[in-house]
Amino acid sequence: MSRIAVVPGSFDPVTLGHIDVIGRAAGIFDELHVLVVHNPAKAALLPIAQRVSLIEQSVKDAGLPANILVTSWSVGLLVDYCTDVGASVLVKGIRSQVDVAYETPMAIVNRDLAGVETVFLLPDPANAYVSSSLVRQVASLGGDVSPYVPAAVARFLQND
């Protein structure tokens, strides 16, 4: 039986930290779905379709394996998507104890709701301080985001 995992997130925009975790997860699971989900708690920078397209480009440019599917989800619970596609695992990147505190309640609820387990993966420490919110702030003030995001994202944000 092939093991399908889902990496969900806002990815607004995708960062080098995300690509790091996506690459690690793709090496562990048979099939990996990178799922762009609207998070109503966050003010969005990019439309969902643009985020999907930038992830696809970044995954390709990074030479990541072909078992990665990038898509989006806007209706219902995250675990409904998992059930629909037969995924039993969610993957989240953990940069610090702050991420553990943020992710743990969601992991427990997703397991309670549908038996979907969450696996936490650690990025390269070089990516431990990279976040989409920081990138959004630097980009909005005209700063150089290229150390934090894939080249396709830097090009897109800086030509905006």
| Annotated catalytic residue 131 | no
- Select which of 10, 18, 24, 33 is catalytic: 18
The catalytic residue among 10, 51, 92, 132 is: 132
Residue 33 bears catalytic tag: no
Contact status: 121 vs ligand PNS (CB under 6 A): no
Asked whether the beta carbons of 53 and 71 are under 8 A apart, the reply is no
Helices (H) and strands (E) in the chain, counts: 6, 5
The active-site residue out of 3, 42, 96, 140 is 42
Which region among 2-10, 25-33, 115-123, 146-154 touches ligand PNS (by CB under 6 A)? 2-10
Q: Can residue 10 be called a binding residue for ligand PNS (CB under 6 A)?
A: yes
d(CA 154, CA 72): 22
Query: Of 23-31, 34-42, 46-54, 121-129, which segment contacts ligand PNS by CB under 6 A?
Result: 34-42
Q: Which is nearer to ligand PNS, 8 or 23 (CB)?
A: 8
Question: What are the φ and ψ backbone dihedral angles of 40, each rounded to 5 degrees?
Answer: -65, -15
**Whole-number Cα distances in Å, 137 to 3, 43, 47, 140, 156:** 37, 12, 17, 5, 15
**Residue 158 C-beta: closest distance to ligand PNS, Å:** 22
Q: Give the whole-angstrom CA distance, residue 1 versus residue 93.
A: 25
Pairing of the two strands 89-93 and 4-9: parallel
Per CB under 6 A, does 127 bind ligand PNS? no
E strands of the chain, at which residues? Answer: 4-9, 31-37, 68-73, 89-93, 117-121
Catalytic status, residue 18 = yes
Ranges within 79-118 binding ligand PNS (CB under 6 A): 106, 109-110
**Under the rule (CB under 6 A), what is the footprint of ligand PNS?**
8-10, 37, 39, 42, 77-78, 106, 109-110
